[in-house]
Structure 1
Amino acid sequence: MSNDASPFSLLLELYPAPQMSQALSKDRLVEHWTAFEHALAGAQARLGIISPADAEQIRSISAESINQEDLWETSKNVGYPILSLVRQIAGQLPDGPDGRVHFGTTTQDVMDTAQALQLRDARDILAAQVSRIGDGLTRLVAKHSKTAMPGRTHGQQAVPTTFGAHLAPLLGELSRTRSRLHVCREAAATVSLYGAGGTSAALGSQVREIRSLMAEELGLHSDDVSWHTARDRVVEVAQVCMILAGTCARLARNVIDLSRSEIAEVFEAAGNHRGASSTMPQKANPILSEGIIGMSAIIGPLTASLGRTMEMPQERSAGEWQIEWHVIPQVLQLTSSTMAAAEELLDGIRIDDQAMAKNLTVDGGLIMAEASMIGLADELGREHAHDIVYAAAQAVRSTGTDLATAIGAQLEASGNAGRVTIPGPEDYLGEAAQMCESAIGAWAETGGA
């Protein structure tokens, strides 16, 4: 039996994203906090604020030397973990350098900088996942740019489209979000060093140089305006995650819908007992798609809760900051898990183009009703043509006749008898193929993001 008493998430167990889990781990967070103190001491030594010898000793204290059991227990009393961290670092130093740890800074500086490092690393993980998903979509869009299938609106057949054109909007959305992800990563990866009230008073006249040197060492950006209470950049990262998860959820929703027994055009990967039911032997449930939708549905409300962080009063939070402590790791982990599932889904997706072709003929061929109306509109006018085809559609459904025959009967009855020619679905695809090309081109253009 496991001795881990932490809450168990069945979602994250079944849909893991281990790289993100590692980036968000307690050990990694303590490393980031320690790295802040190292960078601060190093920058202050370079500017003559503390001695190089003191800085060297501070920087020699590793994150592995921090007693985490004591760290977390002490933090329950203090309310924040940095006092305990600083005292543990100082406690391992001799007189002199022990008094130079955390010199002039404050808890939020350490924690916000660590979060900036987390967001930077998380963005890189997500960006790699976006690239793999986009590449998978690109291959499908290119392969199926001319694979005709029923287009559906309001859950019903509408006009013909292609499977490539069906996926192209997803690829376009992903291209835009890859750019968004790049922008928010650059903004959020910003060092914090502003002291107790955001004025940097305790850090002295060289604070801007200290901040810049720290940013250089940590691989972050520097901003000379405090962001202790300005949380827009953090919120933006979560919003981009929500958009990414939403894109994956739409893909998953369409796979579920198109894998219905009555449609049977698209399926998840096959496998022994994959998606099996405990009681219905015939079932092969779309388990990846279901997980994607479930996780995406959680990310939205979590992200919405971050709106409260924008309310931070005066110069420091009065409880709003704590929202981030729980929500940001959850959003990042769930987003990465969602995308890992979407990547697996695309890798194993199965397309039945014969079923797509067959489904174009169901409902008496009424999927070509708009094409028939447009064909008659030049001669009859659009509204009259609409009425003719509408009446014909009712006849197709009530009598079982075909669309061309029904339209011919309606034309004759209205005194407009003539031969009716209805194009085939493959001849009424509009700019489906060109749309696929445009989506693929847009994805290629964001490749450097």
Structure 2
Amino acid sequence: MSVFPFEHPFLSGLTGDREIAALFSVEAEMAAMLAFEAGLAAAEGAEGVVPAGAAAEIESRIKTFRPDLEALNQATARDGVVVPELVRQLRAAVGEPHAKYVHFGATSQDVIDTGLALRLAGAFDIFGARLDALAVALDALAVRDGAVEVMAHTRMQAAIPVPASRKIESWRAPLLRHRAAMAGVREGVCVLHFGGAAGTRDKLGAAGAAVARRLAVGLDLTVPDTVRHAERDGIAGLAAWLSLVTGTLGKMGQDIALAAQSEIGEIRLASGGGSSAMPHKVNPVGAELLVALARFNATLLSGMHQALVHENERSGAAWTLEWLLLPQMAVACGAALRTALSLVETISFEGPSG
């Protein structure tokens, strides 16, 4: 057992997903936050909010900037957020007379939430590709084995014989709906967060909207109608979508594990987990993992809904709760999709007498 099994030296082989986890690494987070700061300087320089020379110097210094991670660690313990110390280090790197223009008109939440949006765009690309591949694999399974007769079960009791295609479609159809819904979920989270201290961009005056639009274009994000510092429905919607995907895959995993039982024998596993005590067993490890990840995300989803409750214009508590939960949910979803694809490609329906 581990505090964080998704990156554990050996548990991560079961539960982890390197591609999704990489998006939540310190390297990825730092790159995204620095992209915001460089983009902000460029946008403000172009709109005349800061001197063009200052904007160019900030962009140049950011390209070679290397943060002091230990100082960031210590400062975050004090400030509750990494940005104040990061900005201090950036200003020291830029130097006078331009240091004061670093992070001009922005606040910590702008940097962190926009950085998250940039990384989530990459996660959606991965999720979409895997959902597409899984749909193709399920189609192939239906073509090959769909006519095999299996027993339908209602309330865990034998009901009537049905073609295997009926079960396969019950796995595939919800995944197609989740794939179709993904565009709307992505639209809700891949947005620019730029509002300054209390969401009014007060330091930028009349140029605030123009800077926001230019910054969003540079980062390939959209500008919402209102600053979403305390409006967390988009993030909660993402969490719900992640839980729906893993829940659907969990249902598939549960069906496969039941059908692969020795006394049922309607599904054959081409490979599976070994036992230290019973070498004859082929354990349905992948199927079981899908069930576990589904239940894991369903449990964490309630916490993400708790994080909807921000006090007034910003909540440190609700915001921190998101940091604790969302990365795990994303990695769990990635691991479930990866596992499901591997599982579908290695099972076959054989019917009750297989």
The farther-off stretch of 55-64 and 212-221 is 55-64
Listed as ranges, the matches of 1:40-189 within 5 Å are: 40-60=40-60, 61-62=62-63, 65-189=66-190
Give CA deviations for 1:35-64 in whole Å, capped at 9, x if unaligned. 110011000011111122211111121375
How many angstroms apart in 2 are the aligned matches of 1:33 and 1:287?
Answer: 38
Aligned to 2:315: 317
Task: Report the aligned-residue RMSD.
Answer: 1.7
Listed as ranges, the matches of 1:14-413 within 5 Å are: 14-60=14-60, 61-62=62-63, 65-270=66-271, 274-352=272-350, 355-356=351-352, 358=353
Runs (4+) of structure 1 exceeding 6 A deviation are none
What amino acid is the match of 1:44?
E
* Change beyond 3 A, Cα 1:309–1:15: closer
Aligned to 1:404: none
How many angstroms apart in 1 are the aligned matches of 2:56 and 2:80?
Answer: 30
How many angstroms apart in 2 are the aligned matches of 1:184 and 1:75?
Answer: 30
How many angstroms apart in 1 are the aligned matches of 2:140 and 2:340?
Answer: 15
The answer on whether the counterparts of 2:192 and 2:223 sit within 8 Å (CA) in structure 1 is yes
* Change beyond 3 A, Cα 1:64–1:24: farther
Give CA deviations for 1:82-129 in whole Å, capped at 9, x if unaligned. 011111111011312111000011001111111111222111111111
How many angstroms apart in 2 are the aligned matches of 1:135 and 1:11?
Answer: 29
Tell me, which stretches of 5 or more residues in structure 2 are unaligned?
none
How many angstroms apart in 2 are the aligned matches of 1:157 and 1:172?
Answer: 23
Q: Secondary structure at the match of 1:350?
A: strand
How many angstroms apart in 1 are the aligned matches of 2:286 and 2:166?
Answer: 23
Q: Secondary structure at the match of 1:204?
A: helix
Q: What is the deviation of 1:145?
A: 3.3
Q: What is the deviation of 1:232?
A: 0.2
What amino acid is the match of 2:329?
V
How many angstroms apart in 2 are the aligned matches of 1:146 and 1:280?
Answer: 34
The answer on whether the counterparts of 1:302 and 1:327 sit within 8 Å (CA) in structure 2 is yes
How many angstroms apart in 2 are the aligned matches of 1:196 and 1:94?
Answer: 24
How many angstroms apart in 2 are the aligned matches of 1:318 and 1:86?
Answer: 19
Q: Secondary structure at the match of 1:332?
A: helix
How many angstroms apart in 2 are the aligned matches of 1:191 and 1:11?
Answer: 35
Q: TM-score, normalised by structure 2?
A: 0.94
How many angstroms apart in 2 are the aligned matches of 1:84 and 1:128?
Answer: 37
How many angstroms apart in 2 are the aligned matches of 1:29 and 1:103?
Answer: 20
* Change beyond 3 A, Cα 1:6–1:71: farther
* Change beyond 3 A, Cα 1:246–1:11: farther
The answer on whether the counterparts of 1:295 and 1:334 sit within 8 Å (CA) in structure 2 is yes
The answer on whether the counterparts of 2:273 and 2:282 sit within 8 Å (CA) in structure 1 is yes
* Change beyond 3 A, Cα 1:284–1:59: same
How many angstroms apart in 2 are the aligned matches of 1:91 and 1:218?
Answer: 25
What amino acid is the match of 1:189?
C
What amino acid is the match of 1:266?
I
What amino acid is the match of 1:123?
F
The farther-off stretch of 253-262 and 312-321 is 312-321
Q: Secondary structure at the match of 2:307?
A: helix
Identity of matched residues, %: 26
Q: What is the deviation of 1:11?
A: 4.4
Give CA deviations for 1:416-435 in whole Å, capped at 9, x if unaligned. xxxxxxxxxxxxxxxxxxxx
What amino acid is the match of 1:320?
A
Q: Secondary structure at the match of 1:159?
A: strand
The answer on whether the counterparts of 1:90 and 1:98 sit within 8 Å (CA) in structure 2 is yes
How many angstroms apart in 2 are the aligned matches of 1:63 and 1:239?
Answer: 38
Q: TM-score, normalised by structure 1?
A: 0.75
Figure out how many residues of one structure are paired with residues of the other and give that number.
Answer: 349
Give CA deviations for 1:251-289 in whole Å, capped at 9, x if unaligned. 11011100111111113332xxx4111111211100111
Q: Secondary structure at the match of 2:298?
A: helix
Q: What is the deviation of 1:338?
A: 1.2
The answer on whether the counterparts of 1:141 and 1:164 sit within 8 Å (CA) in structure 2 is yes
Q: Which has the larger radius of gyration?
A: 1
The farther-off stretch of 197-206 and 249-258 is 197-206
Q: Secondary structure at the match of 1:255?
A: helix
The answer on whether the counterparts of 2:236 and 2:304 sit within 8 Å (CA) in structure 1 is yes
How many angstroms apart in 2 are the aligned matches of 1:243 and 1:45?
Answer: 43
Q: Secondary structure at the match of 2:94?
A: coil
What amino acid is the match of 2:56?
E
Q: What is the deviation of 1:17?
A: 1.3
* Change beyond 3 A, Cα 1:188–1:7: closer
What amino acid is the match of 1:267?
R
Q: What is the deviation of 1:184?
A: 0.5
The answer on whether the counterparts of 2:20 and 2:330 sit within 8 Å (CA) in structure 1 is yes
What amino acid is the match of 1:140?
L
